[in-house]
Chains A and B, each alone.
Chain A
Amino acid sequence: MKPARFDYAAPGGLDEAAALLAATPDAKLIAGGQTLGPMLNLRLVQPALLVDITRIPDLIAVDEDDAWISYGACVTHAAIEDGRVPDVTNGILPRIARGIAYRAVRTRGTIGGSLAHADPAADWLTALTALGAEVTAYDGRSERRIAVRDLMTGVFETALGSDEILTAVHVPRLSGEARLGYYKICRKTGEFADAIGAVLRDPERRLVRGVAGATEAAPIVLDDLSGPDGTSVLDAHALRQDLRTHGLTEAYALQVHAVALERALAEALA
Chain B
Amino acid sequence: MRTIALTVNARPVTADVEPRLHLADFLRERLLLTGTHIGCEHGICGACTVVIDGEIARSCITYAVQCDGAEITTIEGFTEDPLMARLRAAFTVDHALQCGFCTPGMIIAARDLIRRKGSLDRQQIRQEMSGNLCRCTGYMGVVAAIGRVMAEAGDRPALPPATSTIGPAPGPGAVPAPQERRDAVGRAPAESAGERLRPDSQALLDDISEEGLITLADSFAVPHPPDRVWDVLSDLQTVAGCLPGARLTAQDGDRIAGEMRLKLGPMSPRFAGEGRIRRDDGTRRARIVGQARNGASASRARARIDYALVDSGDGGTRVEVEIGYALTGTLAQFSRGAIAIDLVRRLTATFATNLEAAIAGDADLRREEQEPQPLDAAGLLGAVVRARIEAWLRTLFGRGG
Contact = CB atoms under 8 A, between A and B. Distances in A.
Interface of A: 1-8, 10, 12, 28, 30-34, 36-48, 50, 52, 54-57, 59-60, 62, 72, 74-76, 78-79, 82, 84-85, 101-105, 107-110, 117-118, 120-121, 153-159, 188-190, 192, 215-217, 244, 247-251
Contacts of A188: 130
B22 A41 contact: yes
A54 to B, nearest CB: 5
Contacts of A104: 46, 49, 56-58, 109, 131
A249 B401 contact: yes
A52 B298 CA distance: 27
Contacts of B58: 34, 37, 104-105, 108
B136 to A, nearest CB: 18
23 contacts: A1-B42, A33-B61, A37-B61, A38-B334, A44-B266, A52-B65, A54-B171, A55-B174, A55-B176, A74-B168, A75-B166, A103-B128, A104-B46, A104-B57, A108-B57, A108-B169, A110-B167, A155-B264, A155-B339, A156-B264, A157-B376, A216-B338, A217-B342
Contacts of A60: 165-167, 171-172
B145 to A, nearest CB: 18
Instruction: Give the top 7 A-B pairs by smallest Cβ distance, nearest first.
Output: A156-B265, A102-B131, A37-B61, A154-B377, A8-B19, A249-B397, A79-B166
Nearest to A154: B377
Given A60-B166, A108-B168, A159 B378 contact: yes
Given A8-B19, A157-B265, 9 more contacts: A4-B20, A5-B188, A37-B60, A38-B44, A62-B166, A104-B58, A105-B131, A108-B55, A155-B339
Interface string B314-357: 00000000000000001101101011011100100000000000
A92 to B, nearest CB: 18
Interface hub of B61, B116, B187, B343 (most chain A Cβ within 10 A):
B61
Interface string B165-202: 11111011010100000001111100000000000000
B284 interface: no
B381 to A, nearest CB: 7
B68 to A, nearest CB: 7
A156 B266 contact: yes
Contact of B167 (A2, A6, A36, A54): A54
Contacts, number: 228
A76 B56 CA distance: 13
Q: Which of A6, A75, A158, A251 has the most CB of B within 10 A?
A: A6
Say which size band chain B's interface belongs to: 35 or more
Interface of B: 2, 18-20, 22, 25, 41-44, 46, 49, 52, 55-58, 60-63, 65-66, 68, 109, 112-113, 116, 126-128, 130-132, 161, 165-169, 171-172, 174, 176, 184-188, 264-267, 269, 296-298, 330-331, 333-334, 336, 338-339, 341-343, 346, 376-378, 381, 390, 393-394, 397-398, 400-401
B130 A189 contact: yes
Contacts of A118: 265
A37 B42 contact: yes
Given A37-B42, A41-B41, A52-B66, A46 B131 contact: no
Given A4-B188, A43-B330, A103-B56, A154 B398 contact: no
Contact of B269 (A44, A102, A190): A44
Contacts of A72: 167
Contacts of B398: 249
A42 B265 contact: no
A42 B61 CA distance: 11
A43 B296 contact: yes
B20 A3 contact: yes
A61 B376 CA distance: 33
B320 to A, nearest CB: 20
B62 A33 contact: yes
Contact of A154 (B116, B378, B390): B378
A160 B334 CA distance: 23
A42 B42 contact: yes
Given A110-B167, A250-B397, A55 B172 contact: yes
Given A4-B20, A4-B188, A43 B297 contact: yes
Given A57-B172, A190-B131, A45 B61 contact: no
A42 B22 CA distance: 13
Contacts of B65: 8, 10, 52
B113 A103 contact: yes
B57 A2 contact: no
Contact of B176 (A10, A153, A250): A10
Most buried by A among B18, B55, B167: B167
A28 B266 contact: yes
A6 B20 contact: yes
Contact of A105 (B18, B43, B343): B43
A84 B172 contact: no
A48 B184 CA distance: 11
B401 A6 contact: no
B168 A32 contact: yes
Nearest to B43: A38
A37 B64 CA distance: 12
